[in-house]
Each structure stands twice: as structure tokens, then as C-alpha cells.
Structure 1
Amino acid sequence: MHHLKLAPSWLRFLIIFLLTMGILFRFFNLDTKIFSHDETYTLLRISGYTRTEAQNKLFNGSVIGKESFAQFQGVNQKSLNDTIMTLAKKDSLHPPLYYVIARLWLEIFGNSVTAIRSLSALISLLVFPCVYWLCRELFNVPLSVSGVAMPAAGVAIALMAISPIQLVYAQEAQEYILWLVTILLSSASLLRAMRLEDELIKKQQRPDLFATWSIYAVTLAISLYTFLWSGFIAVAHGIYVITAARFQLSQTVRTYLLASLVGFLAFMPWLTAVIGDFFQFLISADKTTTQSSFMPVLEFFFMQLSRIFFDIDIRLENSFSYLIKIISLTFIAYSIYFLCQTTNYKVWLFIIILIVVPVLPLRIPDLMAGSIESSTDPYLIPSYLGIQLAVAYLLATQISNGSMSRRSIWYAIVALVIICGLISSKVNSQAETWWNKGISDGNPQVAQIINQTTRPLLISDALGNNYGNIFSLSYLLKPKVQFLLVQNQKIPKIPDRFADVFLFNPSDTWREIIEKKYNLKTDIVYSDKYYSVWKLAKPRTVRQRDILRKTKLSSN
């Protein structure tokens, strides 16, 4: 990172400090937050079992302990080949690269929450050299005024290190942080190939197409094997190359198309499985694997953009969130405007396309429907990256340009961005749950309620999000808690030895049938927008109801 040496000493120390803090926060308290519904599916895929196999083994009407879930959570009886083949046959919409790496990792370090999340934290460290490479290719040379060089790459590294949204995915046991790394690699290698080819053409030398474009073809294939949405990253790259060539079939365009074709051909073995799985999904009657909440599109989108810089898990309904969104959106808008006004069109065009194109296939239907599925947030990762590049360029330019008074203002803005990032990281590192935990957000409260009882039994079926949330809860419940899991809302046979019996997210019909079957009543003990938990109890006598009524009246 030679060009960091050109920056003032205070900036070098600041970047090193923020990078150090970012690394520490990524590995701090990895097991503190709940292991969410989606993360349990990650370990299920790694295990080589399917949901159907796990469901048949566990949801069979027998009383089981939390240790029964371990077989389907990580490396156990099946092999690496089982992991790959199960993904290909039953879950090909999730390409295998991350799961292969994760399985090899868990074979060494075990199946703990810390182990699987530490892999994401380690992969996230690759973001820093990759974003440096992308900035070097994108901005070409360090920004310098009056002999003071201020590389946007160094500022970008600092921003990525303390960005709250980056921290979220760096500690998530899913493939999203690896996807970000592959986006950075494929984008940087694309710009490198274009630059080298232009330089050789200007020197009237014949470009070596294999040497120039092979890295891009490889990184594109790696990205596709990480996350299917990389196909839209490739579309964004294609739009950029063709637009930069002013819509002419130039040598660069032809070689780009050839390299992209090679990348997609390398992905073809998995793509055939994806196509078959996709059509099977369309005609399948069972679309209840996961459930997510829906919320207004613009509110969700604006909140997510504000979380790039400041995130203490403020919910949409909080009035303070509106102020945060206004400030963040103004800052982002000005960064993009400044980028477009002060850089070559090839620079701002790349960033704008990266922000806009990959998310359009999802956002346009959402805008038409008027609501958005909260679980689609990871698809905004390319937009987050583009925005952070624009902001890095703005800050790197402004703190080295203009008068001292102007620079002082931007020093204050930089300090505010840093403070917001560090505060967000601090709050995040100590939290038990976070906004990205989605339908598992209430599991800590449910676990606390159940763990306080003496001889608890938790009853549930496998419909909707219940399956994944039961797995998630198993990480929080004490060994004394037993499970009675059934399929298709069958009437469970409840043993007499349990003092406290809970129903996890039952339908009204199923709950009423159980009440009638056992001549019991149910009291709700927890409820949110995702699910509810009920406790079975004996019907109150007339005397008990009178006592309860008098108690309420006296308390009022």
C-alpha cells in the first residue's frame, strides 16, 4: 500500500487506528447475538442434510432434548460430497463455494457459533485489500493538492472498517460478506483489464487477451459460485463497458464479452441445477420455508442507507430515525453529486451503475407493490459499496482541498462520521439481537420466559418460520427444556411430567383443538409481528377469577 505513505502522518495513524478497531469489533463477542433462523439454515446446508430429513427426524411427535438438533447443525455424519450434492439437488439457489469453505473450516474448529461466525469475520478482512485495489484502479492516482497526497483508497479502508453495515455482515454466518469480497475482486479486475488493454493499444502493441482478461473471468466465476445475484453484477459490468465504449463494438467490448462468456461457462454445471430447481420452486405448493415482514419501500430503503454510517438498531417507527435518515440521505446525495461533478465520466459512471443496476430487479417490483420484504437487505450490498466509494472520494478530496477554514469544516464532518461508526460498533458488539435477525428477533425474550420455569415443554409444528425458529431457540434454551415437535398440526400427546407447557406460534384452530382435547386454557406470554407463544394452564375457577378481578381493581 505504497500510496498511503504519501498521506500526512496523522491520516496514516488514523487509518491504522480505525482499521485496528474495525478488526477488533469484527471478532469481539461473536457468540453474543442470537443464532438466527437464517443462520441455522446455513449449518443445515453445511451438514449435508435437507430440511425434509431433519423434519422427519425431529418433528415426529416424540419428546426430545436440545442435543437432538446438533446432528443437523454443522459437520457430523455426512461428507463434503453430501454437502455439495444436497445443495445441487435440493437447494441449488445457494451456490456451494461458501458452504464448502465453511464445512472445511468447521471440520477444524468445530460446530460452535463462534467458529462459524469467525469464518465470516476472517473473510471480512479481505475486504480491505480488495477495496484498496478497486480504488486504485478506479481513481487511478492519489488525490493531491499543494504537494499533499490524500488517497481515496486509504479513506475507503477506514470507512469500511467502522461501517455499521459492514460489521453486521462480517459477523453473520452466511455467504454475504464473501459475496462482497468477490464483487470487489471482479470489479477491480475488470477495471484493471480495461486499463491494461487501453495502455497497450495506445502504445500500438497487440494486447495479450488471456493475460489481460483471465483474472476477470476467474473472479466472475468465483462470484457466481458464491451468490446467484452476481449475475446482475455482471450485467452492471457489461453496461459499464459498453457505455464507456460509447456503444461501439470496440476491442475492449469484444474481449469483455469473451471473458464474461468464459466466466458463465465455468458456472454452467451449477447453472443447470439452478434452472431445474427454480422451475420446481415455481410449481411447488410448499412455499412456507421462510416468512418475513413487509414494510413500506422508501422507509426501509432510506433506513438501510442511513445504517451505512450510523446504526444503533433504531426501528422505523422511532421519530429520531427520521432525522438520521434526512442527514444521511443529504450526505449521500451530495457525495454522489460531487463525484459526478469532479471526476471523469468513467469513474462516476462505474459507481452509479454499481449502486443502481444490481438492485433494480428487486426494487422495481417492490415499488409497484408498495412494500418490501425485509429479508432482501443483503441484495443492497452493491449499493452500499458504491455509496461508500463515493463518500470516500468526497472526504479524501475535501480534507486536502480549499482553505484552512473549509478543511476545518470537513475535518469536523470526518470526525462525526468516525464517532458515529465507533458508537454504532460499540453498541452492536454488546447487543443480544439486531435488526438483521428478522423473524428470530424475539427469541431471547421467549427463551428467558421458558428458562425461568421448572419443568418446561415446548410444543410446535414445522409450518412457516416455526422450523427455523425452533432451531434458533434451541441455542438459547437450557438443557432442562424439552421439545415436542409435530408435523401438519397433529394433536400432540403431552406427558404428565411437565409442569409448564408452551405452544410456539400455533394457529388459532390448532390451539383451540389442543385446549379442547386436554380441557385446558391458553394464556399468551409473548407476541410480536412474527410469532406468538402461549402457555397451557388449567381453567380458572370462579373464585380464582374473582380474586384476579379484585387484584386488578385494587392495583388500578
Structure 2
Amino acid sequence: MHHLKFAPSWLRFLIIFLLAMGILFRFFNLDGKVYWHDETYTSLRISGYTINEAKQQLFNNRVIGGESFAQFQGANPEKSLNDTIMSLAKENSQHPPLYYVIARLWMEIFGNSVTAIRSLSAFISLLVFPCVYWLCRELFNVPLSVPGVAIALMAISPIHLVYAQEAQEYILWLVTILLSSASLLQAMRLESHDKDQLAKKRQPPDLFAIWSIYAVTLAISLYTFIWSGFVAVAHGIYVMVTAKFQLTETVRTYLIASLVGFLAFMPWLTIVFGEFFNFLISADKTTTQSFLMPIFPFMMMQLSRIFFDIDLSLDNPIGYFITPFFLTLVGYSIYFLCIKTNYNVWFFIITLIVVPALPFILPSLIAGGIEASTEPYFIPSYLGIQVAVAYLLATQLYNGSVSRRRIWHIIIALVIICGLISSKVSSQAETWWNKGISYDNPQVAQIINQTTRPLLISDALGNNFGNVFSLSYLLEPKVRFLLVNNQKIPKIPDGFTDVFLLNPSDIWHEKIEKKYKLKTDIVSSDNYYSVWKLAKPPKLRQRNISPKNKLSAS
């Protein structure tokens, strides 16, 4: 690895250039994409209101304007920081409170706009770069080459750009994974150096402080995202295997530090278990429709999105050319890592890639598919893959003949070009694949905004609650909302030129047709929800809407 300790000036310039481009893309057009279903729930939690409180004030069979939603979408004087934490504890404890507490304080300073809340994630994403530098230094013990290439890859990675502009906790989770992983590796390295220094009668490093950092960062990671428990399992497997399943001093210290981290998380974990048991004994269980994707195409698509992403669908032919290239690159990177580095290096990266992903992959193999909304849970795997690729690319800059190095220069150029193109396309788009059930909301809003005096009717079942909030950011002030609870028949007032139904169940919209003696025409439909329009049909006109095009939100 001696040749990796130094980087030529052109590589340093390239790293700085890509880092600057990555930072610019993170802050460009923050409010351009649709503020989608899950992000509106983030703002609702920050506001301190519960879902039931929002339903009572909004879904009450009265006509309201879009401004009525603002009270439930950010910091407000009626609710405190304690209300933010309590709303999570009561209704959504699987999301720990750390990010929401930080976001609440942030929005009290900078306001409740989409740009303000997303800028928090953009600023947090800047911490990724020094953290990945630290992790690579601990893994490879080189000052610039591998850490620098890793920083460049992370800066232009489309998958990280997505979460750097998302009003959710995932980019903060990535930072905590990097911190806990790097601190663990440093503690283990100093633990081994400690023995050598004691033998040479030198002053050992302060191991207590280093292990304390790991315990604290582990607790912070758990309070950011509960899936950190599986990252901790990966750490535990790594420590036990590298110690050859012996209870060494390093293993004992690790167990104590991990125990401290989990004990610090125990108050919130108790709340999680309490909510889970209440759900089991509750007679009122709401079921939502899930959309499963084939596991293998899903994994291949997510792997490709680490490096190249222009919002392609599964059946897009471009994917058949792009995905094999990156699959080969990743596969060879992991192989090269395993044969060129020592066991302590490659085994850490393999466990980080595999262990947190297995709890999703194994059940998906049995179920025959995986939910598209699970892609953020693979962030540890994305990180491990990028570190492996960074090591390969940094190494191939120097190894082999001139012709071999030129081939790898071309490959590196392709990876960089793919990342830059992806970032440019993503930064200018109004919607993206991660918007899930709100992907078509801009199209729906455009249809409604084109009418003269529109009225949007919806209930609060399934995904409708969050999508109504999402549409409130896109619809013009002239649009009015008539929101009902428990699918009551709405009282439609006079004076509206166009009336739309948001994702009605078959029974509900048939009852509305019958009461008002109107027909409904579908104006938008996808895998998640549909929008219908009430209309007076001609006498001899027959409906030509096939039942298979109807989507139920019951």
C-alpha cells in the first residue's frame, strides 16, 4: 500500500472539484421536488400534533383552504418540543426522536418552508465527508488516496443526494453509522497498540475515552434510526470473529461499551415495545396496501442507483446496459478487496454490507417480493459497497502497465460522468422514485389547478391522509378541500365547477354517485392511488372504465 500513501496533484484537484460539485447539488433547488407523503409526516411530528388531532380539526366535513394545513406542518407556538417527542412516542415510536428534536429547533430558527427543513439534511450531509475520511483512514491506514476517492464517490453518488435533500432522518443515520464504525475500528486498533506499548514500557493511549466515543455514537445512532441495532449486530460479529470467538480484553471492553450504548437507548426501546404490544391486543388494526417488487430486479436497480440514477423504471432498456456494468464493478471490487487486504479490513466491509440487509432480503425471498419503500434500510450496504469500490479505483490508478492504467482511467471517468449526469437530472426534476406514493402528485395537482373553481374531496384512510397534505403544497389557493372522516357521504356545496375525489374506495364513490346522481371519471391512476372527477354524463353515454383500473384504499 506504499504507493497509496501519496496522491498526484491532478487527483487532489479532481477530488476537490467533485466535492465542490456534490455540495452545490445538495443545496440546489431544494424545494423543487414534491414534498411527499412521508415528509409531511415529518413536519406533522415536528409540529407536535398527533394524527388524531389533525384529523379532528381538518377531516370534519367542512370546506377549507390550503392554508389550514400550515398549523400541522412545522414548529408553532401552540405546541412545544416535548409535544414533538410525545407525538412520536404515542403514534410512531419506531422513529426515534433525535432527528425530530434537531429539526424542531432548526425550524424554530429558520421557519417552516420546504427549503428550510430540507436544508437541515443538506447541512448534515456535509458531515459525511470527514466521517468517511476517518473510516477509510482506520481501514486502510493511508492519508489521501482511498479516503479521497471515497469522498469523491460519496459526493456525486445519486443515492446519497436523494437523502441529502429529504426531510427525514436517513442522512443523519448515515453519519452516525460512519462515526460508530470509525470509532470502533480506532478503539480496536489502539487496543492492539496498547499491548505493544505496555511491552515497551510506553504510555498507552486513553482507551477509555475511545471506547466511550463508541458507546456514545452507538446510542446516538440508535436514537436516530432503530435499524442501527442491526449495524451494531454487524459490529459484534466483526469483533467476535476477529477475536476468534475468545473472550479477550478487546471483546470484554466492546461488550461493556455496547451495553452502555443500548442501556442509554432503553427508555425509548421500552416505548417501542409498549406500542407494539398495544398494537397486538388492539381490535382496531389498520391495514394498508403494499406494493411488492421482485427482489432480484429491485436489488440490481438499487445497486445501480449508488452510481447512476436518472429515475429509470424496472423495464427501461437502458437499465439492461447500465446495471451489468456496475454489478461487475461492485463484484470485482469486493473480490479485489478480499484478496488484497488483510482479514480485519475486508471482513468489516462485508459484514457492513450483508448483515443489516439480511433481515429484509430473507423474508422477501419467502414472500416473493420486497416493498419499494424499504430502500433507505440498505444505507449501510450502500456505504460498504462504495468503500470497496473506492479502494479498487484508488489502487488501479497506480497498478499494472500503462495500458492497464488507461483502461481504469476510462472506467473512473465513466463512474464520474454517470454521477454528475445523475445529479444534474435529479436536481432539475419535480418528482423522483423515492417519492413513492406521492410520485404522481405534481401531475394530479396540474390537472386540478387547470380548472376554474375546483373542490378536492378525500377521507383519511390509508395513504390519503399524507397525500392530502402533500397536495396542499402543490395546489393553488383557489382549490378548496372537503375532508371527511370514516368515509361519510360529503355535503358538496354549490359554486364549484369541478369536484375531484382522491383515491375513493369502490363503495364510497358509488355512494357519492348515487346520492348526487353523477358519474365519476378516472383522471389519474398509478400503483398506489387514483383520482376521480364527478361529472354529469350525456344521456346515452356509457362508462368505459374497466374495474381493473380502480384502486381501493380501504
| TM-score of Structure 1 vs Structure 2, range by shorter chain | over 0.9
One-letter code aligned to 1:264: F
Alignment-derived partner of residue 109 in structure 1: 110
The question of whether the paired residues in 1 share the 8 Å contact of 2:4 and 2:142 is answered with no
Whole-angstrom CA distance in 2 between matches of 1:442 and 1:34: 9
Judging changes above 3 Å, is the alpha-carbon distance between structure 1 residues 348 and 111 closer, same or farther for their aligned structure 2 residues? same
The question of whether the paired residues in 2 share the 8 Å contact of 1:291 and 1:439 is answered with no
Q: 2:179 aligns with which of 169, 179, 185?
A: 185
Whole-angstrom CA distance in 2 between matches of 1:318 and 1:288: 35
Whole-angstrom CA distance in 2 between matches of 1:86 and 1:122: 26
Shift of 1:323: 2.0
Judging changes above 3 Å, is the alpha-carbon distance between structure 1 residues 534 and 544 closer, same or farther for their aligned structure 2 residues? closer
Shift of 1:105: 0.4
Whole-angstrom CA distance in 1 between matches of 2:62 and 2:356: 46
Whole-angstrom CA distance in 2 between matches of 1:182 and 1:282: 32
Shift of 1:403: 1.5
Shift of 1:536: 0.5
Shift of 1:271: 1.2
Q: 1:463 aligns with which of 455, 461, 464?
A: 461
Alignment-derived partner of residue 93 in structure 2: 92
One-letter code aligned to 1:63: V
Judging changes above 3 Å, is the alpha-carbon distance between structure 1 residues 139 and 285 closer, same or farther for their aligned structure 2 residues? farther
One-letter code aligned to 1:79: S
Shift of 1:4: 10
Whole-angstrom CA distance in 1 between matches of 2:145 and 2:298: 33
Alignment-derived partner of residue 374 in structure 2: 376
The question of whether the paired residues in 2 share the 8 Å contact of 1:502 and 1:534 is answered with yes
SS at match of 2:481: strand
One-letter code aligned to 2:245: F
Q: Residue deviations 1:199-227, cap 9 Å, x none? A: 01122267754223111001000000000
Alignment-derived partner of residue 158 in structure 1: 152
When the two structures are superposed, what TM-score results if normalisation uses the length of structure 1?
0.94
SS at match of 1:313: coil
Residue 19, structure 1, aligned to residue 19, structure 2 = yes
Q: 1:497 aligns with which of 485, 490, 495?
A: 495
Alignment-derived partner of residue 518 in structure 2: 520
Q: Residue deviations 1:258-294, cap 9 Å, x none? A: 0000111111111111111122233445554865421
Whole-angstrom CA distance in 2 between matches of 1:285 and 1:95: 26
The question of whether the paired residues in 2 share the 8 Å contact of 1:288 and 1:465 is answered with no
Q: Residue deviations 1:283-330, cap 9 Å, x none? A: 445554865421111111110011000000000021221222211111
SS at match of 1:95: coil
The question of whether the paired residues in 2 share the 8 Å contact of 1:297 and 1:370 is answered with yes
One-letter code aligned to 2:192: D
Whole-angstrom CA distance in 2 between matches of 1:122 and 1:258: 33
Q: Percent identity?
A: 78
The question of whether the paired residues in 2 share the 8 Å contact of 1:335 and 1:391 is answered with yes
The question of whether the paired residues in 2 share the 8 Å contact of 1:340 and 1:348 is answered with yes
Whole-angstrom CA distance in 2 between matches of 1:503 and 1:285: 29
Alignment-derived partner of residue 44 in structure 1: 44
Shift of 1:542: 3.7
The 5 A counterparts of 1:129-528 are: 129-142=130-143, 151-204=145-198, 208-288=206-286, 291-528=289-526
The question of whether the paired residues in 2 share the 8 Å contact of 1:306 and 1:324 is answered with yes
Judging changes above 3 Å, is the alpha-carbon distance between structure 1 residues 260 and 507 closer, same or farther for their aligned structure 2 residues? same
- In structure 2, the gaps of 5 or more residues are 544-554
Whole-angstrom CA distance in 1 between matches of 2:98 and 2:306: 27
Shift of 1:6: 3.4
SS at match of 1:11: helix
Whole-angstrom CA distance in 2 between matches of 1:245 and 1:10: 41
Shift of 1:160: 0.2
Alignment-derived partner of residue 550 in structure 1: none
SS at match of 2:356: helix
Whole-angstrom CA distance in 2 between matches of 1:234 and 1:347: 17
Whole-angstrom CA distance in 2 between matches of 1:368 and 1:496: 53
Task: Report how many aligned residue pairs link the two structures.
Answer: 536
When the two structures are superposed, what TM-score results if normalisation uses the length of structure 2?
0.94
Judging changes above 3 Å, is the alpha-carbon distance between structure 1 residues 342 and 417 closer, same or farther for their aligned structure 2 residues? same
Judging changes above 3 Å, is the alpha-carbon distance between structure 1 residues 173 and 289 closer, same or farther for their aligned structure 2 residues? farther
The question of whether the paired residues in 1 share the 8 Å contact of 2:190 and 2:207 is answered with no
Q: Which moved more, 1:327-336 or 1:423-432?
A: 327-336
SS at match of 2:139: helix
Judging changes above 3 Å, is the alpha-carbon distance between structure 1 residues 469 and 413 closer, same or farther for their aligned structure 2 residues? same
- In structure 1, the gaps of 5 or more residues are 143-149, 546-556
Alignment-derived partner of residue 553 in structure 1: none
One-letter code aligned to 1:158: A
Whole-angstrom CA distance in 2 between matches of 1:378 and 1:509: 35
SS at match of 2:522: strand
Q: Residue deviations 1:465-494, cap 9 Å, x none? A: 011001000000000000001111110000
SS at match of 1:358: coil
Shift of 1:114: 0.3
Shift of 1:90: 2.5
Alignment-derived partner of residue 547 in structure 2: none
Judging changes above 3 Å, is the alpha-carbon distance between structure 1 residues 286 and 301 closer, same or farther for their aligned structure 2 residues? farther
One-letter code aligned to 2:101: V
One-letter code aligned to 1:514: I
Q: Residue deviations 1:7-32, cap 9 Å, x none? A: 11100100000000000000000000
SS at match of 1:249: coil
Whole-angstrom CA distance in 2 between matches of 1:87 and 1:427: 35
Whole-angstrom CA distance in 1 between matches of 2:155 and 2:93: 32
One-letter code aligned to 1:191: L
- C-alpha RMSD of the superposition: 1.6
Shift of 1:544: 11
Shift of 1:345: 0.6
Judging changes above 3 Å, is the alpha-carbon distance between structure 1 residues 286 and 163 closer, same or farther for their aligned structure 2 residues? farther
SS at match of 1:225: helix
Whole-angstrom CA distance in 2 between matches of 1:177 and 1:337: 28
